Amino acid sequence: MQNAIAGEVRLTLETLFTPYTIRGVTVPNRFAMAPMQRHKPSDFIPSREHAADYRARVEGGIGLVITQGTTMDHWSTSSAYARLFPPAYDGWKACVEAVREAGGHIFLQLWHEGANREGGFGPSGLTAAGELRGNPFTKDQIEEVTDLYARSAEIAKAIGFSGVELHGAHGHLIDQFFFAGSNKRDDEYGGDLAARMKFGLDVVRRVRSAVGDDYPIGMRISQWKGGVYDIKPCPTPDDLKAFLTPLVAAGIDVFHASARRFWVPEFEGSDLGYAGWVKAMSGIPTIAVGSIGLDTDMQSSFAGQIAKTTGAAGIAELERRFARGDFDLAAIGRAVLVEPDWVNKVRNRLFGDLRSELFTDEIRSTVVTRTYTMPANSA
C-alpha cells in the first residue's frame, strides 16, 4: 500500500467517529457499509436474514448502510438479486426498521444493469468493453426509464429509506450512457460528454423533483468499468471537474467514489486517490471506497487471490487521508462482510483480533455475481 505508515503506528481515530450530516440526515460516524450483492432470494423479497445482516453491521459500528444494488420494477431490468417491487416493500421496511433500531441510517441503491445482462437494454446495447450483449433503447423507452428512477426513489422515500444512491458506476446503465465506449448513439443522448450525460442528468433532476429538496440523493461513480479496469474516461482533473459539476447542479448531494484501491494516486503529480480528487473537483460530500482494510482489490479476489487485512497500518493510511480532508466517509465492503464488528474492533484498536484472511474461497462463493439472462422483452 502506497504511503502506508511504517514502523510505529499512531492512531487517534476520534475524527472517524464523529457525526456527519448529508442534506439533513446525520449519520453517527464516518463508516458506511458498501453495497454488495449478498442476498439472492428466489422471490426477490428481502428476508428476515437480510434485515438481520444489515442490523448486525450497524451494531458492529457501521453508521450508514447502502443496500445491495436493487433493480427496479420494469421490463428492461432484472437480476438474480433484490428488486423494488410491491411484494418486496414490507421486506424493505423491515430492513429500514432493523437499521434504525440499531442506531444507523440506510440508503437504497437503485440499480439498472443496462446491457450488461444478456438481452438487456442500454444506450447502444454495448457493455463498457464494447461487447454487443443487448439492445438499444428507443427515445421513448429512455423517457420511460427516466421516470422509472423517479418513481422508484419516491417509493424508497415512502418506505422509509434515509436516502437513495443512483448506481452510475462500473459500466451499468447510467454509466453506459456516460461512457463513450458503450454509448454510440447519434441522437441527443450520444456524442460529446454533454450529450452523453443527458440521460444521467435527466434522471437526477427527475429524482430530485420526485423526492423534494430535503431528501439525500447520492451517486456511485467510477473511472474503471467492468472488464475495463484501467481506463480513465476523465484523464485529467479538469476533465473530472467537467463531469462532476453538472451532476452537482442537477441535485447530487454526495458522490460515492469507487476505486479498486482507495490509496492509489488517480493523477500524476499528487498522491490523491480518486475520492480525494472527486471531493476537490466537486466540492460536495464524498465517500471513499476500494479495498479499505484489505491488501488487494475485489477483482483480484474474484480471480482467486486471497485478500488479507492491512491491520493498523492500513487504518493509519485511511485516517491520514481522512484527516487531511480527502473524503468525508469511508465505505467498507468485504472486510465488514466477513466481520460484522470490524468497525468496533478498529475503534477499540483490536487490530490483533482482525481476521488475517478476509476474502477466501468460502466468502467469495457467497458474493460472486451469477450469470443471468434477461427474460424475454415484455415491452
What pLDDT shows up at residue 223? 97
Is residue 149 a part of any domain in this protein?
yes
Would you state the pLDDT for residue 4? 41
Does residue 359 register a pLDDT over 60? no
Tell me if the pTM is above 0.85.
Answer: yes
Q: Does 375 reside within a domain? A: no
Residue 309 in any domain: the answer is yes
Tell whether 374 is covered by a domain. no
Percentage of the chain lying above the pLDDT 90 cut: 76
What CATH number did the domain enclosing 210 receive?
Answer: 3.20.20.70
Q: How many domains does the chain have?
A: 1
Residues 6 or more apart from 90 whose CB is under 8 A from it? none
3-state secondary structure the chain: CCCCCCCCCCCCCHHHHCCEEECCEEECCCEEECCCCCCCCCCCCCCHHHHHHHHHHHHCCCCEEECCCEEECCCCCCCCCCEECHHHHHHHHHHHHHHHHCCCEEEEEECCCHHHCECCEECCCECCCCCECCEECCHHHHHHHHHHHHHHHHHHHHHCCCEEEEECCECCHHHHHHCCCCCCCCCCCCCCHHHHCHHHHHHHHHHHHHHCCCCCEEEEEECCECCECCCCCCCCHHHHHHHHHHHHHHCCCEEEEECCCCCCCCCCCCCCCHHHHHHHHHCCCEEEECCCCECCCHHHHHCCCCEEECHHHHHHHHHHHHHCCCCCEEEECHHHHHCCCHHHHHHCCCHHHCCCEEECHHHHHHHCCCCCECCCCCC
Per residue in 61-113, pLDDT (tens digit) is 999 999 999 999 999 998 888 899 999 999 999 999 999 999 999 999 999 99
66 is a domain residue: yes
Residue 164 in domain: yes
**pLDDT at position 296:** 62
Confidence of residue 356 (pLDDT cuts 50, 70, 90): confident
Query: Which range marks the domain in which residue 154 is found?
Result: 14-367
Q: How far is CA 351 from CA 16, 59, 315, 317, in A?
A: 16, 18, 9, 14
Residue 286 belongs to some domain of the structure:
yes
Smallest CA-to-CA distance from 204 within 237, 246, 141 is with 246
In a domain, 140, yes or no: yes
For the residues 273-286, what does the mean pLDDT come to?
Answer: 98
The yes-or-no verdict on residue 5 having pLDDT over 70 is: no
Higher pLDDT, 370 or 281: 281
